[in-house]
Chain A
Amino acid sequence: MAEYRTIRFRLNGRPVELAVQPHENLVEALRRGFQMYSVRESCGQGLCGCCTVYVNGKAVSGCLYLAALVDGCDVQTAEGLGTLQQLSPVQEAFIECEGFQCGFCTPGMIMMATQLLQENPNPTDEEIKHYMSGNLCRCAAYPEIIAAVHRAAEKLRASKETDAKADQAATVAG
């Protein structure tokens, strides 16, 4: 039996620690240690995206990632995107566009969409399909998911413009 080791990392911005076994994967560790139930193992093979987690800001499949390797890293899950009082713009957009049916794939979809919009604030349908081709929806809510990503992009652009205007106003005032 391989020994437990204590790993320390940041989870959704908060320093945490957990004793893990070397062969435990990140999905198992996040669910067992921190009740991060947005992270789900479905295909277990890197194909479906239900286990999407950011490690040091990059989306990975938690099902193919050894938990021990996040020692010292910054880890983020869908739980860290917004709060119940203040959802993230991408979360809001998924609700407004009904970008789901059963919701099983939704955290992964939202995580990937959030990352896509960080890299590409104004994606085309093709770009959305390409970036999210590794996220599968068993309910086939794809048209609504694509609409939600467009809606989220609009929201993020609008909030950027508001921020820019506020900055400008502050500069003029100051």
Chain B
Amino acid sequence: MNAFDLIQPDTLEEALSLLNTDDPLVRPLAGGTALMLMMKSKLYAPERLVSLQRLKPSLDKVKVDEAGRLHLGPLATLRELELSPVVAQFSPVIPKALRTLSNVRVRNVATLGGHLAHGDPHMDLPPILLALDAQVRVSSEAGHRDIPLSEFLTGYYSTALAPGELITEVVVPPLPQGTRGTYVKFTALSADDWPMAGVAAFVRLEDGQISDARVAVSAATERPVRLHEVESFLRGQRPTDEVLHHAGELAGTQIHPLADIRGSSGYKREIVKVCVRRSLQQIAQTDHNGDGGVTQ
């Protein structure tokens, strides 16, 4: 690893001031799990890293407000989110997905902010948070802005973060009563590998009819995307085998999978079709108190 300078500010103001530069060789460091891999493989050789470690006490809160919105601090570790009763109550899909993400040591250190800012399309939480309509608050010395996650994730390893900006909060609007969700993760190499395809689905059934559907795909695509066509097709339908099968087929026409070591583009398209169908079947099959789950 190349030598670099490491600064450990005590306050958000100090951190934002240190990061207020266009120099791409200056970057924030949160858990460091992603950055360490990049630096070790010499993909990135920073001059200066600004550690956010000392800001943790003020930026790791997990809470639900009076309006039912879930607020997540960017320095909450993935393990803290996995074990948080507040998160589990909001949507059990989140902790279930986290349990399948890498291993305990990585989750003990990796943060939510780093998870989103890295812009890696293979991450497990972005499709779930995307289906949940999450918003990302980013702050800089100039102030802050709130960006829907769908606009925050702009492409392959790229996000809407401008130089000098930090993620300071993630907010998820309340889920309408009766919404059930699931995350289906398909791994091609080993069970705890990064997903080759990830599908998050949240569906609300009223009198046996789908009144709301949100479906997001990740890993197979260059960035996590919502499948709006599939969602509007599903609205108003009964979740019969035929309908869910068609939803899967439709999903296949909406995506542009990237080929890599985990599979060719065509193979990934077939897998996404199956994952979309399975995710919807799972939701349709869980009883009213069920929450779907996470399958691999």
**Residues on A close to B: CB < 8 A?**
1-3, 21-23, 25, 44-47, 49, 52, 58-61, 63-66, 68-69, 71, 112, 115, 130-131, 133-135
- A to B CB contacts below 8 Å, 19 in the list: A2-B6, A21-B3, A23-B2, A23-B39, A46-B106, A49-B105, A58-B109, A64-B33, A64-B109, A65-B32, A65-B36, A69-B32, A69-B53, A112-B105, A133-B103, A133-B191, A134-B102, A134-B192, A135-B103
| Minimum C-beta distance from B35 to chain A (A) | 9
Q: Tell me the complex Cα distance, A120–B108, Å.
A: 16
Q: Tell me the complex Cα distance, A133–B192, Å.
A: 8
**Residues on B close to A: CB < 8 A?**
1-6, 8, 29, 32-33, 36-37, 39-40, 49, 51, 53, 79, 99, 102-106, 108-109, 191-192
Q: Which of A3, A25, A66, A134 has the most CB of B within 10 A?
A: A66
Q: Tell me the complex Cα distance, A134–B109, Å.
A: 14
Q: Tell me the complex Cα distance, A22–B191, Å.
A: 35
Check A60 against B5 for contact (C-beta < 8 Å): no
Once A23-B3, A45-B37 are accepted as A-B contacts, the answer to whether A60 and B53 lie under 8 Å apart by CB is no
Nearest B-chain residue to A22, judged by Cβ? B6
| Minimum C-beta distance from B143 to chain A (A) | 29
Q: Tell me the complex Cα distance, A3–B6, Å.
A: 10
Check B2 against A46 for contact (C-beta < 8 Å): no
Contact of A66 among B3, B32, B191 (CB under 8 A): B32
Once A23-B1, A69-B53, A133-B192 are accepted as A-B contacts, the answer to whether A61 and B105 lie under 8 Å apart by CB is yes
Nearest B-chain residue to A49, judged by Cβ? B105
| Minimum C-beta distance from B1 to chain A (A) | 5
Q: Tell me the complex Cα distance, A44–B36, Å.
A: 10
Residues of A with C-beta under 8 A to B40: 44-45
Contact of B103 among A21, A49, A58 (CB under 8 A): A49
| Minimum C-beta distance from B101 to chain A (A) | 11
Check A22 against B5 for contact (C-beta < 8 Å): yes
Check B103 against A134 for contact (C-beta < 8 Å): yes
Q: Tell me the complex Cα distance, A44–B1, Å.
A: 12
Q: Tell me the complex Cα distance, A134–B105, Å.
A: 8
Using A2-B5, A25-B1 as known contacts, list a sample of 16 further A-B pairs with CB atoms less than 8 Å apart, ordered by residue number in A.
A22-B49, A23-B4, A23-B39, A46-B103, A47-B103, A58-B109, A60-B105, A60-B108, A61-B109, A65-B32, A66-B29, A69-B8, A69-B51, A71-B8, A131-B104, A134-B192
Q: Which 4 residue pairs across A and B have the least CB separation, nearest first? A: A134-B103, A22-B6, A2-B3, A64-B36
Check B37 against A112 for contact (C-beta < 8 Å): no
Q: Tell me the complex Cα distance, A63–B3, Å.
A: 16
Check A1 against B99 for contact (C-beta < 8 Å): no
Check A134 against B6 for contact (C-beta < 8 Å): no
Q: Tell me the complex Cα distance, A57–B51, Å.
A: 20
| Minimum C-beta distance from B28 to chain A (A) | 13
Once A45-B37, A46-B33 are accepted as A-B contacts, the answer to whether A134 and B106 lie under 8 Å apart by CB is yes
